[in-house]
Structure 1
Amino acid sequence: MRHEIALNSLRTQIERIEGRSARERHVLPFGLMAIDSRLPGGGLALGALHEIAGGGNGAIDGAAASLFSAGIASRTRGKVLWCHTKADLFAPAVAQAGLLPDRVIYVEAGDDQTVLACMEEGLRHGGLGAVVGEVARLSMTASRRLQLAAEGTGSIGIGIRRWRREVDASDFGQPTAAMTRWRVSVLPSAALPVPGVGRHRWLVELIRARAGESADFELEACDDTGRLGLPAELVDRPASADGWRRGASA
């Protein structure tokens, strides 16, 4: 009994030191066991910051990363604040990923610093379902401020990393305070039995998950409810043969 009391006291002290509240941390499940099983709590942590970037040419245009982010944001409650420096977001595509126009508040900022300031203000507000910001650079200090702001209100923060040159994407390897780090690359769509283009496919890489596991997933892009899908040929693949697990991440 004494040991249990001592352990509870120690946990409380650790939470206080790390700036965490005593309340339970909630998650937003993807609804796919292959992904949720790699994430602590069985889903994407709410009240936290997450980083998402595009792979290959997507490091510049950010299209797949933006739609992946829109799918996540669409499954939260409340308005979504979307901050950017380039007014090149294609709203109809965002709507097809489940995030309807009447839910989004767009903020066009002049530079990354202004985007980060708007994101922090939005996360501290507490009345938003998600706060999304497109930035090239995200320092440890800036990401820590966003993480703390998200923890204080329970809103989810999403930092979409976009660069002017593909070579600049090496900055994505620098450490930040984000709970998870993702990279989304475009794959060829599935062939259809009739002329046309099948549902878009992505290679989704969970590069880092604090207290979780890193992994790669071949997935069908978000539908109009913000849900990802497993390609038909992978649905019945045994877990032991899926080849997605890459290892544990601190």
Structure 2
Amino acid sequence: MTAVREHVIAELRDRIASLRGSAARQAGCLPFGIAEIDDRLPGGGLAYGALHEFAGGGAGTVDGAAAALFVAGVAARTKGKIVWCLTRPDLFFPSLAQVGLNANRVIFVESDKEEDLLANMEEALSYGGLGAVVGEIVRLPMVASRRLQLAAEKSGTLAMIVRRWRRQTEANDFGQPTASTTRWRVSVMPSEELPVPGVGRGQWLLELMRSRAGECAEFLVGACDDKGRIDIPSRSGDRSNSTGRSRHSG
């Protein structure tokens, strides 16, 4: 009887995985247009209908500004309105415009409590027809992340969480398990040097810390341009291959 039960459970798990895979294929993905990155992601890009998690690294661990700009650049390349949920209205609109996200496309939803923010995100994801739903949050409990993942799957909307902490000790929560499909850390690096004295284009170290059914990796990239696009500087073209981790992440 136990063997039969285990066989039935295994079949159900396979069917559920198949259905999830089918839904993911129907939703599609948003490629970065960089083979070194897209090849690391199942489907060849950032999956629609899924939850993705981002945080700042290095000196920007607490404020998460680079992570927020990276997310804004991703959102800029989607179609439709963007719902951005937050508890601290401190986004600098000109910075969003610099990475291609026009403020006219963004519907900002402010909440006093993170529980309300999560509920607003879930409702926005369930609405459908949006380019992306973004939420800035300190903690992401597993149950809440599962609800967001399910809501994203049903509507096919891109869901992105920006982890912004008020103090360094809160950053330890980033290592806790969540239902996110991918998890990224974004660190500010020295600007790209120009052939003449001046201010070069900003650079980020992108760390793909988790990719469901994929591998971890890291990439030195040029920060988002005014179309939301990143690139890999020519002089560091081999960096992703030399620093990418080959272990599976989930």
TM-score calculated relative to the size of structure 2: 0.89
Does the C-alpha gap of structure 1 residues 22 and 105 become closer, same or farther in structure 2, counting only changes over 3 Å?
A: closer
Hey, what's the Cα distance between the residues in 2 that align with 1:108 and 1:98? Answer: 22
Paired residues, what number? 240
1:152-179 deviation digits (Å, cap 9, x = unpaired): 0010000000111112101000000000
Hey, what's the Cα distance between the residues in 2 that align with 1:59 and 1:70? Answer: 17
Does the C-alpha gap of structure 1 residues 130 and 194 become closer, same or farther in structure 2, counting only changes over 3 Å?
A: same
Shift of 1:10: 7.5
Hey, what's the Cα distance between the residues in 2 that align with 1:188 and 1:234? Answer: 13
Contact kept, 8 Å, 1:222 with 1:228, in 2: the verdict is: yes
Hey, what's the Cα distance between the residues in 2 that align with 1:44 and 1:63? Answer: 20
Identity of matched residues, %:
58
Shift of 1:21: 4.2
Hey, what's the Cα distance between the residues in 2 that align with 1:226 and 1:111? Answer: 30
Shift of 1:111: 1.8
- Is 1:143 the counterpart of 2:184 in the alignment? no
Hey, what's the Cα distance between the residues in 1 that align with 2:132 and 2:215? Answer: 24
2:57 alignment partner, one of 30, 55, 58: 55
Which residue number in structure 1 is paired with residue 248 of structure 2?
A: 248
The amino acid of 2:131's aligned partner reads G
Structure 1 residue runs of 4+, over 3 Å off? 9-12, 15-23
Which residue number in structure 2 is paired with residue 79 of structure 1?
A: 81
TM-align CA RMSD: 2.2
> What does residue range 144-183 of structure 1 map to in structure 2 within 5 Å?
144-183=146-185
Contact kept, 8 Å, 1:71 with 1:99, in 2: the verdict is: yes
2:112 alignment partner, one of 99, 110, 113: 110
The amino acid of 1:209's aligned partner reads S
Contact kept, 8 Å, 2:53 with 2:161, in 1: the verdict is: yes
1:91 alignment partner, one of 90, 93, 106: 93
> Gaps spanning 5+ residues in structure 2: where?
1-10
Hey, what's the Cα distance between the residues in 2 that align with 1:206 and 1:162? Answer: 18
TM-score calculated relative to the size of structure 1: 0.89
Contact kept, 8 Å, 1:15 with 1:22, in 2: the verdict is: no
> What does residue range 38-53 of structure 1 map to in structure 2 within 5 Å?
38-53=40-55
2:194 alignment partner, one of 169, 172, 192: 192
1:126 alignment partner, one of 112, 125, 128: 128
Contact kept, 8 Å, 1:183 with 1:206, in 2: the verdict is: yes
The amino acid of 1:242's aligned partner reads S
Hey, what's the Cα distance between the residues in 1 that align with 2:145 and 2:161? Answer: 9
Shift of 1:24: 2.5
1:204 alignment partner, one of 203, 206, 215: 206
The amino acid of 1:31's aligned partner reads G
Contact kept, 8 Å, 2:24 with 2:49, in 1: the verdict is: no
The amino acid of 2:73's aligned partner reads G
Shift of 1:190: 1.7
The amino acid of 1:34's aligned partner reads E
Shift of 1:59: 2.3
Shift of 1:244: 2.4
Contact kept, 8 Å, 2:220 with 2:239, in 1: the verdict is: no
3-state SS of 1:60 partner = coil
- Give the structure with the higher percent strand: 1
> Gaps spanning 5+ residues in structure 1: where?
1-8
